[in-house]
Structure 1
Amino acid sequence: MLSRTIRKSVLDTRIPSSALPPTFLLPNRARYFNSTTQHVETPPDNFDASQLPASETSASASGLPLSKHAQSKLAKIPSPPPPPSKPLALSKSIKELLPLLAVQPSHYISAHIHGKPYLVTPGDIVRLPFHMPGVVPGDILRLNRASAIGSRDFTLKGTPYVDERIFECRARVMGTEAEPMRIKEKTKRRNRKVKTVRSKHKYTILRIAELRVKGLEEIEQ
C-alpha cells in the first residue's frame, strides 16, 4: 500500500513535456539528447558540381530541391547565342548570292531586341514597349541579332540567327516617351476599402541609322 502511494505521488509530480524550457536554455547534455541528428548523404565519386547551372548549384547548396514551377521557368528562358569564335564558313550558294544581296538596295532586317522581333528598314522609328535601362538619348546601339536579312529579290535566313559578321545594323536612341497617367480603382465585394492603382508606362524610341550587308572581302578578312 505504501509503495502504491509513493508511485502515485511521483506520477502526479512529473513535469509534462509542454512545460519544459526551450532547448537553448537547457544544459549541453540535455540539448544533445533533445536534438535530432542530421542525415547527410555523401555525393558519389564521379560527381562534378561545376556542371550544374548556377541556380541549381545554389539550391543544392542550401539543401532545397527545385520546384516544378522553377524548373519550368528555367527551361523557358532562352539561352543567348555564343559569341562567334570560329572562322566563318560560307556555303557555295551564299558565296554566289551574298554579293547580289549586298548590291541590291532597299534592305530590310528582322532584328531581335530583348527577344522580340522587329521588321525594320533604314530610317524607321521603333517604339519599344519598355524602358531600356542604361541608355541616354544620342547613344548608338548595334543590333547584332537578326533572324532574316533581305532585299527585294533575296532573303538570307538564320538558324535561328544570322551570323553578326555578315551585316551591320545600328540604331540611335532618340529618347523616351510616357503614356498619360492611368488611374484605376479596385474594389472587392462586401468590402468598403477602395484601392487606387496608378500606372504610367514608359517607352524607348529608336531610329534605324544604318543597315549594311558586308561583302565577301570584308567577311573573309
Structure 2
Amino acid sequence: MMVALAMAAVLSLSSASNARLLLNAHFALDAEREYVPMVGDSLASLVGELDGESTSRAASDRVLAALEERVKRTSCKPAKPGDTQSQPHDITCGGPDVDSLFPYYTALRQARTPAEHDRHGRRFLDAYATLLRDAPDVDLTRPSEDEAADGLLHVLFPFEAWDEKLNIPRPDVHYPLVPVCNLVVARAARCPGVDQLRKQIGQAGDESDQRLFCIKEFSRRQFELYDQCSE
C-alpha cells in the first residue's frame, strides 16, 4: 500500500512538473509578442523605409500581421517531455523554416543602387509574409534566455546569423531594445555630429520615445548604405 502511494506521488509530481513546463512554454511564447514591434523596426531598417506611409512600410505591416496570426496558432513543448529536470527554455516550437528566404535577404543586402534596394526589399517582405502565412510547421528550437530575449522570433528572423554568413559587420549595439537607433547611429558613424546624435537619442526619453526620435532621424537623413555620409 505504501509503495503504491509513493508511486502515485511520484507520478503526480512528474505530471505536475511537465504541466508546468508546458505552461511555461506557452507563457514564453505569449510573452514574445511584446517583441513584435522590434521585428517591425528591424524590417523597416532593412528596407530603408521608416516614414509610415510608403509601400514598403505597408509590406512590413503585412509581415507583422502574418507573424501575429502565426504566433497565435503556434504550439510549443518541452524538448524532452520525459525529463522532469528540463528547464523552461528547453523548448521546441512548431514554425516555418525561414532558410528559404536567405537568397532574398542576400539580394537585398547586396543591392548596389536605391532602385535595386527598393525592388529586392519589396520581394523580401512579400516572401516573408507568404512564408509566415502558408509554410508548414517544422520543429524549431527556441533559444535560451541568455542567447536571445526574443526567443522564437530570434529563430524566425535570424538577421544577425545571416549577416555573419554574408560577412557583414555587426553594428555596435548601444540601444538593445531599440534596433532602429542602432541602425541610425551605425549609418551616421562617418557623419559629422554622430556624438551629438547619440546624446540626443539618450535625452529623447524612454525606449518608445527613442524609437520615435530615431524613426524621424532615419527619414530625415539621407544615407548611402554604410559607404558614405550625405545629408
Identify whether the pair has TM-score above 0.5, normalized to the shorter chain: no
Bigger proportion of residues as strand:
1
- What's the TM-score once normalised by structure 1's chain length? 0.24
- What's the TM-score once normalised by structure 2's chain length? 0.23
